[in-house]
A and B are shown apart, each in its own frame.
Chain A
């Protein structure tokens, strides 16, 4: 029998990821509906792990639930108004960091830490420029998000914030379920569809907002490692197209490339933790 902890952290999110891949494959919903479904799944994972947030929200992790719901509305509206993707990324992540961090950031002692976290926003904004250009690659952006979530989960665990190690791990299971279905499809000779750029943008913003919880509130977080982890998001922008590789090798190439900054971040956290302990 699977414990509720594993069920909520791995099994359900993985299943939802498979369902998302099936929905994308069916090509039925329009892009806005696809975005809503994807964000609703992220919200469902959040509620499974953290419960329904109180209203009005008091703590940052309660605000996070409303932020993710807000992303589902803000991204389509910004797209309709033809705002630049990088500008929307900066705006939403800026609001997320300020709103979630306000209780902590009233203390000036936390400002240097906030500056380190703030660095992730221009990185995400720059990375978001490739949402359109690389959206046709079924695996590239999801692989980067998978690496980002796994890295965030491990950094959270090393920073003594088990709850968000679970949350980021659940996001990894979700995107992992999506990727595994897509890979199985291609392995069986099928043709996979990619997530719409607008959906990817909403998912990216949700993942980064969740990672802010780790960066802001994990009691022993390593912010240098977090800064290195954010470089994972740049991989889709700089990654080659792997045209010479066979189709089944491309996902692995994308995955290994995306994993590099995440592994580096984990090594930084492990090394510095070892130094501080030893």
Chain B
């Protein structure tokens, strides 16, 4: 009797694990439908906007248990675009993104928390200019559906926002030049199920 109960529990646990494993799907970020935008206070005059064009990465998304999901993103730091080429060159310098030494910005999730039906928080390690600090993003899962012209291509869409504290990364020039000091991230990502 005791053996039978243990056996049933073990089988149940194994099935549950297998079900979860199957529920986790891998998605590849669509670089043409990925917008990593940012906004930063510009000396109190306005909120300056910009974006990164080169975004790549993978999402492991478990719809049944989102805490088992994960995200890994790599951004080409040189792809920064603030609508003014000279300023973009300046932002590539060691005063800011130091792209000659650190051409990539990376984000690797460390924890995912469910906060609502379609909302959650993703905490992860954000590495900028060789410095890694934890950052938390508020995420909304917008939808998942096939492309209207290609039923085999399943697309999931996410929106995320977060704050990067530049002082934590040693980006002292940001505040010195009257910017920020914090940078607001506004991310829109479409990813295709693999």
Chain A residues proximal to chain B, CB less than 8 Å: 4-5, 50-51, 54, 58-61, 103-104, 110, 160-164, 213, 216-220
Complex Cα spacing A220 to B88, Å: 11
**Among A54, A58, A103, A163, contact of B93 (Cβ-Cβ < 8 Å):** A163
Considering the complex of A and B, which 7 residue pairs feature the smallest CB-CB distances, nearest first? A160-B89, A163-B95, A103-B101, A58-B130, A161-B93, A219-B89, A219-B92
Which residues of B lie under 8 Å from residue A104 when comparing CB positions? 100-101
Chain B residues proximal to chain A, CB less than 8 Å: 86, 89-90, 92-95, 98-102, 129-131, 170, 172-173, 176-177
Give the nearest-CB partner of A4 in chain B: B176
Smallest beta-carbon distance A220→chain B, Å: 5
Complex Cα spacing A60 to B131, Å: 13
Smallest beta-carbon distance B84→chain A, Å: 11
State whether A51 and B172 are in contact (beta carbons under 8 Å apart), knowing that A61-B94, A213-B94 are contacts in the complex: yes
Which residues of A lie under 8 Å from residue B170 when comparing CB positions? 51, 54
Complex Cα spacing A5 to B95, Å: 14
Complex Cα spacing A104 to B99, Å: 9
Ordered by A's residue number, 25 sampled pairs between the chains whose C-beta atoms are within 8 Å are: A5-B176, A50-B172, A54-B170, A58-B129, A60-B94, A103-B100, A104-B100, A110-B100, A160-B89, A160-B90, A160-B93, A161-B93, A162-B93, A162-B173, A162-B177, A163-B93, A163-B94, A163-B173, A164-B94, A216-B100, A217-B93, A217-B100, A219-B89, A219-B90, A220-B89
**Among B93, B102, B129, contact of A219 (Cβ-Cβ < 8 Å):** B93
Complex Cα spacing A219 to B131, Å: 21
**Among A50, A54, A59, contact of B101 (Cβ-Cβ < 8 Å):** A59
Which residues of A lie under 8 Å from residue B100 when comparing CB positions? 103-104, 110, 216-217, 219
**Among B90, B95, B131, B173, contact of A58 (Cβ-Cβ < 8 Å):** B131
**Do A60 and B176 touch across chains, with their CB atoms under 8 A apart?**
no
Which residues of A lie under 8 Å from residue B90 when comparing CB positions? 160-162, 219
State whether A217 and B94 are in contact (beta carbons under 8 Å apart), knowing that A50-B172, A51-B170, A54-B170 are contacts in the complex: yes
Complex Cα spacing A4 to B172, Å: 13
Smallest beta-carbon distance B104→chain A, Å: 12
Complex Cα spacing A103 to B86, Å: 24
Which residues of A lie under 8 Å from residue B93 when comparing CB positions? 160-163, 217-219
Q: Apart from A160-B89, A219-B93, list 10 A-B contacts with CB within 8 A.
A: A4-B176, A51-B170, A59-B130, A161-B94, A161-B95, A162-B90, A162-B93, A163-B93, A163-B94, A217-B94
Smallest beta-carbon distance A64→chain B, Å: 10
Give the nearest-CB partner of B101 in chain A: A103
Which residues of B lie under 8 Å from residue A162 when comparing CB positions? 90, 93, 95, 173, 177
Which residues of B lie under 8 Å from residue A213 when comparing CB positions? 94
Give the nearest-CB partner of B172 in chain A: A51
Which residues of A lie under 8 Å from residue B98 when comparing CB positions? 59, 217
Give the nearest-CB partner of A163 in chain B: B95
Smallest beta-carbon distance A260→chain B, Å: 29
Which residues of B lie under 8 Å from residue A110 when comparing CB positions? 100
Smallest beta-carbon distance B170→chain A, Å: 6
Complex Cα spacing A104 to B92, Å: 13
